[in-house]
Amino acid sequence: MTKTIFTVLTGLLVAGFGLSSCDTPTGQGAAAGAGAGAIIGGLAGGGPRSAAVGAAIGAATGALIGHAIQEDRAREYGPPPPGGYPVARPAGGPGMYRSPYTGRVYDLRGVPPGGLTRDVDTGQLFRRP
């Protein structure tokens, strides 16, 4: 019983920490897979070693799924322009950035670093730093 509770708590902590620190779909998938794998491995094998093996298998599987999601999103935008997408400039407040095209200020707190945003005035894409 104690091992099961330990395994479940470890899995939840790994998943929570990973999801708060990963900004890409690949990283988020790996973190979620590691957490789920740790829980399943711990419950199936009944110990920390099984939880670690489950976390490793889950992380690899989650990373593959996250990478596939990231690739699908990239296809929606088409090929990047030569030299890549321009990067927004900080606009003073946390998460506030200026479009490299028009200078309009955007609230990008919900966009992960490196994520793309479309300028509403020009329709062109730019990256959050």
Q: What is the dihedral of CA 64, 70, 75, 81, to 10 degrees?
A: -120
The rounded distance, in Å, linking the Cα atoms of 86 and 11 is 39
Report the range out of 41-45, 64-68, 110-114 with the highest average pLDDT.
Answer: 110-114
Give DSSP secondary structure letters for 18-72.
HHHH--SHHHHHHHHHHHHHHHHHHHHH-SHHHHHHHHHHHHHHHHHHHHHHHHH
Tell whether the model's pLDDT for residue 4 goes beyond 70.
no
Q: Which letter, b or e, does each residue of 63-76 get, where b requires 16 or more Cβ atoms within 10 Å of its Cβ?
A: bebbbeeeeeeeee
Summarize pLDDT for 5-51 with one digit per residue, the tens.
Answer: 555 545 555 555 544 446 666 777 778 888 887 888 888 877 788 78
Ranges of each domain in the chain: 2-77, 89-127
